[in-house]
């Protein structure tokens, strides 16, 4: 019996994860990608200004991300990420220069919030009760509905966490998504709260090893080939795929996985409900030389436009989530505006701004609001031989690397069971 033919549309992390599962199960897999390379919104490139490989955006993973680690194990790249152990999250106030570190303790009882050297300075124990409201939030509740006190705990913990996790302003961000993130990490204790960052680049850790693995398994990777439409037979199943180069006819047992962003799915399945809206992430990469070497890999930023600062060799990168208000601002203006905060974090408040590359990912995630959560469809789209993948499809998780990989696995599982 010949192997089942499966076509995957999209070579982001969701598509690559699906291809790994399907090729392991013996499917004959073809991956179609409109861009010239893989990675989607998780990609790396050489920047001529900085003369370095940089990522389009910074991504923080955590040791609670079991699908990420299973993916890394499968592609042989577990050694290409760094794990901060024990869990520690340094913060810096971009105005005063004050520094502190949040250190979760082992086990699920969070006694760390009672200790000055582990918790957030200036916070009273009763301030943490807002976390209980968050954990009990209903489906229509926003983060701001739960945590309305804009005191030190909000400014120094919840705000940078919420904006970065949801890439949506807390006034409209879904409280349940943030609550689920906390349940999987901080509520489980230090071991599952450790920050995980790539050592060299997103491509080096997550994309290139996956492509190598897929090629070894005989997967056909076709880049620069945009899917223009799906042809359906009288039963409604996908019978052929029209691309910018070709027309691929599927056998009767053929499968399709559409691993594309929610805003692109309408071109292929116009009747499929999807979350509406998108949110931008702004990333700025500064070349600071040896000053970066004394910095931890990750630092939270408060009283700053940016929420998190990442360090890799001599490049300091800052991330501004929920950044739509900056979409039309010139790159040079943004670099000048944010540099003083970075200089404070480096302990060099008088330092002149170094070379900087500004990257605007205008559609980094869908809008992670309560109204959009019910519109996340999971892998099913109502077509007998087609499935959906992408971080936007998996309910209960923010639009993260973990969600993207999980969605690809779920879609592949559906395809494998359907063809059995």
- For 280-301, how does the pLDDT look when each residue is reduced to its tens digit (9 = 90+)? 999 999 999 999 988 999 999 9
Lowest mean pLDDT: which of 92-101, 141-150, 184-193, 407-416? Answer: 141-150
Specify which residues 221 forms β-bridges with.
31
**Mean pLDDT, range 201-208, rounded to an integer:** 98
Spatial separation of the C-alpha atoms in residues 56 and 13, rounded to whole Å = 14
Give the side-chain half-sphere CA count within 13 A for 189.
6
Cβ neighbours of residue 301 under 8 Å, at least 6 residues apart? 91, 92, 94, 160, 307, 308, 309, 318, 341, 345
Q: Are 256 and 238 in contact (CB under 8 A)?
A: yes
Q: How many other C-beta atoms lie within 10 A of the C-beta of residue 124?
A: 10
**CA distances (Å), 16 to each of 213, 296, 349, in order?**
10, 31, 43
Fold classification of 5-34+224-276+369-419 is: FAD/NAD(P)-binding domain (3.50.50)
Mean pLDDT, all residues of the chain: 96
Whether the pLDDT of residue 236 is over 70: the answer is yes
Spatial separation of the C-alpha atoms in residues 345 and 94, rounded to whole Å = 7
Report field, pTM of the whole predicted structure over 0.95: yes
Give the number of residues written for the chain.
420
Residue 3: per-residue pLDDT? 82
- 381-399 pLDDT, tens digit per residue, is 999 999 999 999 999 999 9
Which 3 state secondary structure label does DSSP give 287? strand
Q: Are 19 and 31 in contact (CB under 8 A)?
A: yes
Do 5-34+224-276+369-419 and 44-83+196-201+278-366 share a fold? no
Which 3 state secondary structure label does DSSP give 47? strand
Whether the pLDDT of residue 5 is over 90: the answer is yes
* Residue 290 φ/ψ region, left for φ over 0, alpha for ψ in the -120 to 50 degree band, beta for the rest: alpha
Spatial separation of the C-alpha atoms in residues 218 and 213, rounded to whole Å = 9
Spatial separation of the C-alpha atoms in residues 395 and 407, rounded to whole Å = 10
Fold classification of 44-83+196-201+278-366 is: Polyamine Oxidase; Chain A, domain 2 (3.90.660)
- 240-280 pLDDT, tens digit per residue, is 999 999 999 999 999 999 999 999 999 999 999 999 999 99
Spatial separation of the C-alpha atoms in residues 221 and 173, rounded to whole Å = 37
Beta strands in 10-51 (DSSP E): 28-33, 44-47
Spatial separation of the C-alpha atoms in residues 247 and 399, rounded to whole Å = 32
* Residue 394 φ/ψ region, left for φ over 0, alpha for ψ in the -120 to 50 degree band, beta for the rest: beta
Spatial separation of the C-alpha atoms in residues 416 and 414, rounded to whole Å = 6
Q: Where are the domains of the chain?
A: 5-34+224-276+369-419, 44-83+196-201+278-366, 105-192
Whether the pLDDT of residue 149 is over 90: the answer is no
- 42-62 pLDDT, tens digit per residue, is 999 999 999 999 999 999 999
**Mean pLDDT, range 15-44, rounded to an integer:** 97
**Quick one: DSSP state of residue 214?**
H
Q: Which helix (H) or strand (E) holds 92?
A: strand 89-93
- 323: phi then psi, degrees, rounded to nearest 5: -105, 25
Residue 1: per-residue pLDDT? 55
- Residue keyed to tokens 């029209």: 242
Residue 148: per-residue pLDDT? 73
């Amino acid at each position: 019996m010949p192997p089942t033919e499966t076509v995957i549309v999209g070579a982001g992390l969701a598509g690559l994860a699906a291809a790994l599962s399907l090729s392991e199960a013996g499917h004959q897999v073809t991956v179609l990608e409109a861009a010239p390379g893989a990675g989607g919104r998780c990609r790396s490139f050489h920047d001529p200004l900085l003369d370095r490989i940089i990522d389009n955006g910074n991504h923080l993973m955590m040791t609670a991300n079991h699908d990420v680690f299973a993916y890394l194990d499968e592609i042989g790249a577990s050694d290409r990420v760094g794990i901060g152990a024990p869990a520690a999250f340094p913060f810096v106030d971009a105005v005063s220069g004050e520094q502190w570190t949040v250190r979760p303790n082992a086990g699920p009882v969070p006694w760390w919030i009672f200790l000055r050297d582990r918790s957030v300075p200036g916070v009273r124990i009763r301030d943490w009760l807002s976390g209980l409201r968050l954990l009990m939030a209903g489906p229509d509740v926003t983060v701001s509905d739960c945590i309305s006190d804009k005191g030190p705990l909000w400014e120094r913990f919840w705000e940078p966490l919420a904006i970065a996790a949801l890439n949506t302003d807390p006034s409209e961000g879904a409280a349940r998504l943030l609550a689920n993130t906390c349940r999987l990490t901080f509520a489980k204790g230090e071991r599952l709260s450790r920050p995980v960052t790539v050592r060299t680049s997103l491509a080096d850790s997550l994309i290139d090893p996956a492509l190598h693995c897929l090629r070894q398994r005989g997967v056909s990777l076709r880049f620069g080939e945009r899917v223009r439409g799906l042809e359906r037979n009288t039963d409604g199943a996908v019978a052929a795929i029209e691309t910018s180069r070709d027309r691929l006819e599927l056998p009767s047992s053929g499968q399709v996985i559409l691993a594309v962003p929610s805003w692109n799915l309408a071109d292929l399945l116009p009747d499929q409900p999807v979350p509406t809206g998108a949110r931008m992430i702004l990333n700025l990469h500064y070349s600071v030389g040896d000053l970066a070497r004394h910095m931890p890999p990750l630092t939270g930023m408060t009283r700053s436009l940016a929420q998190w600062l990442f360090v890799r060799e001599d490049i300091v990168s800052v991330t501004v989530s929920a950044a739509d208000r900056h979409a039309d601002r010139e790159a040079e203006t943004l670099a000048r505006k944010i540099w003083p905060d970075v200089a404070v974090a480096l302990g060099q408040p008088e330092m002149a701004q170094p070379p900087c590359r500004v990257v605007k990912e205008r559609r980094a995630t869908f809008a992670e609001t309560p109204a959009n959560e019910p519109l996340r469809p999971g892998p099913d789209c109502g077509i007998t031989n087609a499935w959906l993948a992408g971080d936007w499809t998996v309910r209960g998780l923010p639009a993260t690397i973990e969600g993207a990989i999980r969605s690809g696995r779920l879609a592949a599982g559906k395809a494998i069971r359907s063809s059995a």
